[in-house]
């Protein structure tokens, strides 16, 4: 299989961690008989320095012509004084919009080797947990009608939550398809006891679930879901929810893993082409020092293989290698914790450990 992958290395530690992911993907390609063609494009602050804009048209065109996109990170204090329309972060919204990405996949996995990093008690996390939050990305209250008006007590602000059946169905299908590649369980989160938009959400999800008889389907109210995530995260496989609820719950889920440096994400649309990136930022304070944790970006590459290319065995190989390296006790500085007996590895050394296992 020959696949074209656009590389958006970006700023700060972006180039280092993307280079690590590329080395891992190249090793996988060699092992499984594929050809990956990597083409770099400018995005964020480095694009501003080079072209005067955070998202050049050449980058958009290059991503559109690729089979998928791997992103590092954008931004840094160098560009903080710029206006909102030309800040590096503006490029993220622009590329997501250009690629038509309405689904955000954010895994939250607590590796057994890192269970002491979780703020949850050992009796709760056990040997770890592995869940996936599927968040609707382009609808709901963040994109609804909003403004100011004269109300009962004077001037008031309003934001409108609205979802169509089409929007709910497409995010629901993404969740069910993801579940089919995992443990075949979907929990839909809403507030159907209060919100009309959630009642339509629940009705539509129930109807959609009938198309996936192999998947165990349940509903849960969002307030209960927030509690259940810290009470018993192991009960969840795939969670699907609206834009605002997903924003909140995915941040909660990332914290109970104990390490933001381990978490990958994917943004997907109607086509197989997706945008894959770690959830952490550009960390300009450690850029160029070879101490960044590359694992989140490496795992983003694994997500690309799984969700854009249906290369599940190849994705499994990367994830298993990361598991093995952690079990062997190898750590970068951000996940070493208080164990002074360990010597932290740099970005390049951690990458070499993963490559060796593969």
Quick one: how far is CA 264 from the chain centroid? 5
**307 flagged as catalytic:** no
Tokens standing for residue 6: 């656009």
Is it the case that residue 340 has pLDDT exceeding 80? no
The phi, psi pair for 210, rounded to 5°, reads -65, -20
Domain 106-259 coded CATH 3.40.718.10 = yes
Q: Kindly report the CATH number that applies to the domain delimited by 1-99+273-358.
A: 3.40.718.10
- The predicted pLDDT at position 254 comes to 86
Identify the active-site residue in 251, 290, 323, 352.
251
- Please give the average per-residue pLDDT across 344-353, as a whole number: 96
Please name which of 289, 262, 291 lies closest in space to residue 278, comparing C-alpha atoms.
262
Identify the active-site residue in 90, 191, 217, 307.
191
Identify the active-site residue in 130, 247, 290, 323.
247
**323 flagged as catalytic:** no
Please name which of 278, 349, 260, 358 lies closest in space to residue 318, comparing C-alpha atoms.
358
**247 flagged as catalytic:** yes
Is it the case that residue 129 has pLDDT exceeding 90? yes
Domain 1-99+273-358 shares a fold with domain 106-259: yes
| pLDDT per residue as tens digits for the range 174-202 | 999 999 989 999 999 999 999 999 999 99
- The predicted pLDDT at position 203 comes to 98
- The predicted pLDDT at position 358 comes to 97
**Cβ within 8 Å of residue 314, ≥6 positions away:** 28, 32, 34, 302, 305
- The predicted pLDDT at position 181 comes to 86
- Please give the average per-residue pLDDT across 150-167, as a whole number: 96
| pLDDT per residue as tens digits for the range 269-328 | 988 899 999 988 899 999 999 999 999 999 999 999 998 999 999 999 999 999 999 999
| pLDDT per residue as tens digits for the range 43-60 | 999 999 999 999 999 999
Domain residue ranges in the chain: 1-99+273-358, 106-259
Identify the active-site residue in 78, 130, 142, 323.
142
- The predicted pLDDT at position 112 comes to 84
Is it the case that residue 337 has pLDDT exceeding 80? no
Is it the case that residue 71 has pLDDT exceeding 90? yes
Percent of the chain whose predicted confidence (pLDDT) is above 90 = 81
C-alpha dist (Å) from residue 51 to 38, 89, 254, 280: 22, 16, 35, 25
**339 flagged as catalytic:** no
pLDDT class for 93, splitting at 50, 70, 90?
confident
- The predicted pLDDT at position 116 comes to 81
**353 flagged as catalytic:** no
Identify the active-site residue in 223, 285, 310, 316.
223
- The predicted pLDDT at position 259 comes to 78
Is it the case that residue 242 has pLDDT exceeding 90? yes
- The predicted pLDDT at position 175 comes to 96
- The predicted pLDDT at position 115 comes to 83
- Please give the average per-residue pLDDT across 336-340, as a whole number: 72
């Amino acid at each position: 299989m020959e696949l074209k992958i656009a590389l958006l290395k970006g700023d700060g530690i972006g180039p280092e961690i993307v280079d690590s992911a590329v080395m891992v993907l190249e090793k996988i390609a060699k092992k499984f008989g594929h050809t990956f063609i990597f083409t770099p494009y400018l995005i964020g602050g480095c694009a501003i320095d080079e072209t005067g804009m955070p998202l050049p048209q050449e980058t958009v065109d290059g991503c559109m012509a690729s089979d998928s996109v791997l992103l590092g990170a954008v931004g840094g204090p160098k560009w903080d004084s710029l206006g909102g329309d030309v800040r590096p972060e503006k490029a993220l919204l622009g590329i997501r919009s250009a690629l038509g990405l309405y689904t955000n996949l954010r895994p939250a996995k607590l590796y057994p080797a890192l269970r002491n990093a979780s703020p949850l008690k050992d009796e709760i996390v056990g040997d770890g947990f592995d869940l996936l939050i599927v968040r609707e990305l382009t609808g709901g209250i963040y994109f609804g009608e909003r403004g100011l008006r004269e109300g009962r007590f004077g001037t008031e602000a309003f934001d409108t939550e609205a979802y169509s059946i089409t929007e709910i169905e497409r995010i629901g299908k993404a969740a069910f398809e993801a579940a089919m590649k995992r443990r075949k369980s979907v929990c839909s989160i809403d507030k159907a006891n209060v919100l009309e938009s959630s009642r339509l959400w629940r009705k539509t999800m129930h109807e959609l679930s009938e198309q996936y008889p192999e998947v165990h389907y349940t509903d849960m109210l969002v307030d209960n879901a927030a509690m259940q995530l810290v009470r018993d995260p192991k009960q969840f496989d795939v969670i699907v929810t609206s834009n605002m609820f997903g924003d909140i719950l995915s941040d909660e889920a990332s914290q109970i893993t104990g390490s933001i440096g381990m978490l990958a994400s994917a943004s997907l649309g109607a086509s197989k082409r997706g945008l894959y990136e770690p959830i952490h930022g550009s960390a300009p304070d450690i850029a160029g020092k070879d101490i960044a944790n590359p694992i989140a970006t490496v795992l983003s590459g694994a997500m690309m293989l799984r969700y854009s290319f249906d290369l599940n065995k190849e994705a499994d190989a990367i994830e298993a290698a990361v598991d093995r390296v952690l079990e062997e006790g190898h750590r970068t500085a951000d996940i070493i914790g208080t164990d002074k007996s360990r010597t932290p590895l740099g970005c390049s050394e951690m990458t070499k450990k993963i490559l060796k296992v593969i």
